[in-house]
Structure 1
């Protein structure tokens, strides 16, 4: 009887051109035959905020994403990492991904300097109100007050494959000083089905800084969050906070020592998905 070989897990960091920046992700390019339990166990062993598992199917891929604790509906940085890993082995091009959130296209190409960059197009984004009670509980868990918020960017809950409350800080110092109640925020997010909290500060018309607490995944903070960046792009478009079409730049991870850059392309068509572009580089591979 022949046993199924152990899947190869690749380690990449996304939204950075160097290994000391961006958000690390595990990538399994061929997860055929793996059970849900095996995927979760692998993600737990890898220990990164997410690991992507790709199952090739003719001209497309089924993809599942797992944090060390649970499956998530969509993960942007693991998608970028997967596209770069695939391109480095099979050449640049387009991948059609069937994710739990819906179809996501991602295109990878090589720049003149040899860097591989990928652009994902999210599912159609949308935003909903953040209720007064939820806002109150969120601020308490974050140890923020209403005076810490930027009134020009009102609180909302945004979606582009996963749900993220969006809170805009009034100052860079408020964003920098992240010290929240992990258990209280985890309980609130679990109850509401939120993946991360997207905390942002606006530096300029199309320049933002972000931080993303991720206690439901067992992670204090996500260094670079593609799913939240896509949701934030939808938030900006729906609220009329930027002129469209446009591209905004989101800097994330510097406050935790892993700087990353996410380029967010926002089409004018409100039914269109949001483009998120970044680089990814290999860290190492494990069995």
Structure 2
């Protein structure tokens, strides 16, 4: 923070739930002008949420930003940065949704554009019956193979026998703004039993530049339950992970596990007592992935 700069207003919102007790909490600073990296990291660490988001004016050419409290006709483009309690991350889905909901409550629903380190992320916000819903559009995604030795290390850190994986869902690293290792459990019981070696998994994730490990179990054709260990962010588990949901949507489509046109429902946070619901929309001919959910302010 620059010398004598006032402390910014720090908001707390949850994403992927309309209840403050559900979903994934995020810190939101709608005007981070004057905050340096150290100050943003300090705020994120103080809040202790898996990520916090910080808004400033957009880069030249993207549009004109607007401070909270501006009218509905104000600029709706911003630069956004995300910090976990330990480090900056290139993209965070739940903090994007939380920020969009916070903005909508101040400047009204509509279209937003966020410049992230991973690329430009449009967000559409609607409001109906007192509930605000935001849907982000990811950067262009891709997947890649994971080396056998790295997969074996991940499973050892998780204490998951290879036989507990669902053979219909091959392990892959998927990207839609951040990198996530996708591993599918054969049973709901396997997914529910999560007690991993924090330091060992963190070391592997740093080496592979992973943001989370996306653990999934398929309940039905379009319904999945997911969990996301997040040791690189200083958090044992992320309650609802929009970036990983986008990466998983790209993964499932690329491997032909779901139709090119599909709407997937991801349930996350149930095992933490913070249930949330993420909607992943895939459209034929559109390489990007759309992830939506509700949000609410935490008082």
Q: TM-score range by the shorter chain?
A: over 0.9
Q: CA deviation at 1:276?
A: 0.4
Distance 1:56 1:123 in 2: 20
Q: CA deviation at 1:25?
A: 0.2
- The answer to whether the aligner puts 1:71 opposite 2:88 as a matched pair is yes
- 1:71-220 to 2 correspondences below 5 Å: 71-111=88-128, 113-220=129-236
User: Secondary structure at the residue paired with 2:258?
Assistant: coil
Distance 2:44 2:51 in 1: 7
Distance 1:143 1:73 in 2: 28
Name the residue aligned to 2:70: none
Q: CA deviation at 1:146?
A: 1.0
The two structures, once aligned, show a CA RMSD in angstroms of 1.0
Distance 1:65 1:3 in 2: 24
State the 4+ residue runs in structure 1 displaced beyond 2 angstroms. none
User: Secondary structure at the residue paired with 1:274?
Assistant: strand
Name the residue aligned to 1:6: 7
User: Secondary structure at the residue paired with 1:265?
Assistant: strand
Gaps of 5+ in 2: 59-63, 65-74
Distance 2:40 2:119 in 1: 20
Distance 2:174 2:103 in 1: 29
Name the residue aligned to 1:283: 298
Q: Identify the range of structure 1 (51-60 vs 177-186) with the bigger mean alpha-carbon deviation.
A: 51-60
Distance 1:173 1:134 in 2: 24
Distance 1:168 1:242 in 2: 15
Distance 1:174 1:4 in 2: 50
Q: CA deviation at 1:272?
A: 2.3
- The answer to whether the aligner puts 1:45 opposite 2:76 as a matched pair is no
Q: CA deviation at 1:196?
A: 0.3
Q: TM-score, normalised by structure 2?
A: 0.92
Q: CA deviation at 1:3?
A: 3.1
